[in-house]
């Protein structure tokens, strides 16, 4: 079973929107499968397409030099681990609308490369989008989606 992830979650995956700490790499949205569900994010086609519209409290896009990465956290880890490349800026996400980011013509520009083939997230684990920015994300104005072709949920064994 697969379905897109977003900052509002799904029936099988909880999403938690968070306010980042300016000037520090901080998680802004975290996904955790509900009890008994296993979530897998696949690094298909050179990365995972993310669609994002990240805005501050003035409804302005986060600054161009905002850095972004994907992190993974589990109970046995002391702190979340970076599991993707770190984007040095979010220009693609600022320049293109969500609809344009979903368009086949631009999807390659929205891919974030994982450090491995996939990320396995158990119901006790979390995967997150983290940013380092001089501005805070305002979730009243922001959205994040993960392409459904790169997402799978299943019952845990």
44-85 pLDDT, tens digit each: 878 999 999 999 999 999 999 999 999 999 999 999 999 999
**Domain boundaries, position 138:** 5-155
| Count: domains in the chain | 1
Q: Which residues of 16-41 are buried (b: 16+ CB within 10 A; e: fewer)?
A: ebbebeeeebbbbbbbbbeeebbbbb
- The pair phi, psi for residue 14, each rounded to 5°, is -80, 145
Using 50, 70 and 90 to split pLDDT, how confident is the model at 3?
Answer: low
- What CATH number is given to the structural domain containing 19? 2.60.120.1180
Give whole-number Cα distances, 99 to 26, 51, 93, 102, 110, in Å.
26, 9, 11, 5, 12
Using 50, 70 and 90 to split pLDDT, how confident is the model at 1?
Answer: very low
């Amino acid at each position: 079973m697969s379905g897109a992830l977003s900052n509002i979650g799904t029936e099988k995956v909880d999403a938690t929107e968070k306010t980042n700490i300016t000037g520090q790499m901080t998680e802004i949205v975290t996904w955790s499968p509900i009890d008994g569900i296993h979530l897998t994010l696949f690094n298909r086609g050179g990365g995972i397409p993310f669609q994002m519209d990240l805005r501050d409290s003035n409804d302005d896009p986060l600054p161009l030099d905002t850095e972004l990465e994907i992190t993974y956290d589990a109970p046995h880890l002391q702190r979340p681990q970076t599991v993707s490349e770190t984007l040095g800026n979010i220009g693609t996400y600022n320049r293109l609308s969500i609809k344009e980011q979903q368009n086949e013509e631009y999807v390659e520009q929205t891919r974030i490369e994982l450090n491995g083939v996939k990320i396995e997230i158990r119901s006790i684990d979390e995967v997150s989008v983290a940013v380092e920015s001089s501005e805070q994300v305002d979730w009243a104005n922001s959205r994040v989606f993960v392409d459904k072709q790169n997402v799978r949920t299943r019952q845990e064994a």
